[in-house]
């Protein structure tokens, strides 16, 4: 049975909440991703290595946020086109609980495995 307007609205609100959270995290993560200073007089070798590792982790987290934001945008496009809630692989409906858990999913539980 296709999703009701109420269920679609609930999922839209969840998507907007996820997007807002990701953008807030992205704003705070910009400082951690900035280039590491290599001034040996002010920072020791291990501290620089720690800073470079933290920068690398921040950049990876930023890439994951960008991917998630792209999935959110895709979910909004599918809602607008009427394709939301249907599996990309088999075309069957994706379960409501699965969509509530991850509204960006594009596959039913059977095709995901």
Tens of pLDDT, residues 1-24: 789 999 999 999 999 999 999 998
pLDDT by residue (tens digit) across 28-43? 766 655 565 555 555 5
CA distance 68 to 74: 10
CA distance 60 to 94: 30
- Tell if the pTM clears 0.75, that is, is over it: yes
pLDDT average, residue stretch 103-108: 96
pLDDT by residue (tens digit) across 34-92? 565 555 555 566 677 777 788 788 888 889 999 999 999 999 999 999 999 999 999 99
Nearest alpha-carbon partner for 7 in 85, 110, 106: 85
User: What pLDDT, on the 0 to 100 scale, is given for residue 29?
Assistant: 64
């Amino acid at each position: 049975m296709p999703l009701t307007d109420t269920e679609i609205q609930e999922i839209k609100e969840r998507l907007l909440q996820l997007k807002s959270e990701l953008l807030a995290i992205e704003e705070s993560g910009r400082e951690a991703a900035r280039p590491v200073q290599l001034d040996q007089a002010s920072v020791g070798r291990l501290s620089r290595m720690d800073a470079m590792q933290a920068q690398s982790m921040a950049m990876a987290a930023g890439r994951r946020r960008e991917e998630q934001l792209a999935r959110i945008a895709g979910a909004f496009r599918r809602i607008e086109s009427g394709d939301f809630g249907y599996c990309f692989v088999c075309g069957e409906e994706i379960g409501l609980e699965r969509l509530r858990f991850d509204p960006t999913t594009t596959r039913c539980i059977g095709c995901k495995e």
